[in-house]
């Protein structure tokens, strides 16, 4: 009788410990054999853009280190909602990752009243990739203004006549346009285009007066006299354009910026996520990637998943305050966005 009771007690005590031990051994074994097949990185934009180029450069470098092919799959559309939803719904085994900028997990939750993914519960951060310390506002050479103060003076003198190209409602250029006009108390005209390329072509042709651009695109055009530099974003001047004032110098910057991160579906094994973070940091530190980043005026963001999660949380809080100040209210998601799936 006592022997049976003792056996039951021992079983009740050690079965959970055994189960935990087996799970731990399984996770370790999985990380030791990972990856056993090719890995997919979903890029949430079209081929040729910066998100795509980042994914392909990282994929090539991580392939060499991991000993398995890392392929890039472009899933553009609906303000990154299509690609991020595909990532969120993929198996959480480390073989599907997603690379995106802060549009997906910072701006979209503030722009849309209902998302097909949970920005805080459907993903785990693998790590930060790069940030743009500065972007730039450029003007057509025909605009009779050479800096932000002159642009604002022109807008005050002729309300609603100075045009500013955006990438559509809720895009980063649209947010900067709303912030600058609100802070200065002026009226300009926002003209939406389908992305950075078309909007930059519009300012080159003189179709619009102002556009928001990356430094990498603006620099050769400015050096050729095809655009004028009005101001760089951020609080510091850009090393590439030391003579161009920053928006922060006139208290006209909302401190949003752009950064990219690598994510995996929620519940990806911690050991697998840690291995991917190690390989990501190796790729970011490589001479090849450092050269790519330098040419694009980008800063790498190597670090731990926890550090990147803190960056993400800070950006979400800052953006929420900015959107509230501007008066941006959530609307319905784009018509081509995936439908939200029921949550368990």
Residues 88 and 189 in one domain: no
pLDDT tens across 243-253, in order?
999 999 988 88
Instruction: Enter the tokens of residue 120.
Output: 């805080």
Residues 210 and 312 in one domain: no
Residues 211 and 228 in one domain: yes
Evaluate whether residue 168 is within a structural domain. yes
Q: Please give the pLDDT value at position 343.
A: 45
The DSSP secondary-structure symbol of 107 reads I
Q: What are the helix (H) ranges across the chain?
A: 2-33, 50-66, 81-88, 102, 108-111, 148-157, 172-184, 196-205, 215-223, 270-285, 287-295, 305-326
Residues 180 and 128 in one domain: no
Residues 261 and 128 in one domain: yes
Evaluate whether residue 74 is within a structural domain. yes
Q: What is the span of the domain harbouring residue 215? A: 135-245
Helix (H, G, I), strand (E, B) or coil at 123: strand
Q: Please give the pLDDT value at position 128.
A: 98
Where does residue 79 fall: left (phi above 0), alpha (psi -120 to 50 degrees), or beta otherwise? left
Evaluate whether residue 250 is within a structural domain. no
CATH number of the domain that residue 231 is part of: 3.40.190.10
Helix (H, G, I), strand (E, B) or coil at 316: helix
Residues 197 and 236 in one domain: yes
CATH number of the domain that residue 45 is part of: 3.40.190.150
Domain boundary among 195, 213, 245: 245
Helix (H, G, I), strand (E, B) or coil at 210: strand
Evaluate whether residue 251 is within a structural domain. no
Evaluate whether residue 344 is within a structural domain. no
Q: Please give the pLDDT value at position 92.
A: 96
CA–CA gap between residue 97 and residue 270 (Å, rounded): 14
pLDDT tens across 196-251, in order?
888 999 999 999 999 999 898 899 999 999 999 999 999 899 988 999 999 999 88
Residues 126 and 264 in one domain: yes
Residues 58 and 148 in one domain: no
Residues 99 and 186 in one domain: no
Report the DSSP beta bridge partners of residue 135: 214
Residues 112 and 194 in one domain: no
Q: Please give the pLDDT value at position 22.
A: 42
Residues 215 and 234 in one domain: yes
Q: Please give the pLDDT value at position 255.
A: 83
Helix (H, G, I), strand (E, B) or coil at 39: strand
CA–CA gap between residue 137 and residue 131 (Å, rounded): 17
- Count of domains observed in the chain: 2
Residue ranges, the chain, pLDDT below 70: 1-31, 335-336, 340-344
Residues 147 and 236 in one domain: yes
């Amino acid at each position: 009788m006592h022997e049976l009771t003792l056996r039951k007690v021992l079983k009740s005590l050690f079965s959970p410990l055994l189960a935990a031990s087996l799970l731990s051994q399984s996770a370790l074994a999985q990380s030791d054999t990972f990856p056993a097949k090719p890995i997919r990185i979903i890029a949430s934009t079209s081929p040729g853009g910066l998100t795509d180029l980042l994914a392909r450069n990282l994929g090539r470098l991580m392939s060499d280190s991991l000993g398995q092919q890392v392929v890039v799959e472009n899933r553009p559309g609906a303000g990154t909602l299509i690609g991020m939803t595909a990532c969120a719904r993929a198996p959480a085994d480390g073989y599907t990752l997603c690379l995106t900028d802060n549009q997906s997990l910072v701006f979209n939750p503030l722009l849309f009243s209902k998302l097909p993914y949970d920005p805080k519960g459907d993903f785990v951060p693998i790590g930060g990739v790069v940030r743009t310390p500065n972007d730039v506002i450029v003007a057509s050479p025909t605009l009779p203004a050479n800096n932000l103060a002159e642009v604002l003076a022109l807008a005050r003198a002729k309300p609603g006549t100075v045009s500013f190209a955006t990438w559509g409602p809720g895009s980063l250029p649209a947010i900067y346009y709303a912030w600058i006009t609100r802070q200065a108390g002026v009226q300009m005209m926002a003209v939406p285009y389908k992305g950075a390329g078309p909007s930059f072509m519009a300012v080159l042709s003189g179709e619009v007066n102002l556009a928001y651009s990356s430094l990498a695109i603006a620099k050769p055009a400015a050096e050729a006299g095809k655009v004028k530099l009005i101001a760089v974003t951020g609080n510091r001047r850009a090393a590439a354009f030391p003579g161009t004032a920053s928006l922060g110098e006139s208290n006209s910057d909302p401190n949003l910026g752009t950064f990219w991160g690598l994510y995996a579906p929620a519940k990806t094994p911690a050991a697998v996520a840690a291995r991917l973070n190690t390989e990501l940091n190796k790729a970011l530190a490589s001479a090849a990637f450092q050269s790519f980043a330098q040419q694009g005026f980008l800063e790498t963001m190597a670090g731990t998943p926890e550090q990147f999660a803190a960056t993400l949380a800070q950006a979400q809080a800052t953006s929420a305050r900015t959107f509230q100040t501007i008066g941006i209210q959530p609307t319905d998601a784009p018509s081509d966005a995936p439908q939200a799936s029921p949550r368990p």
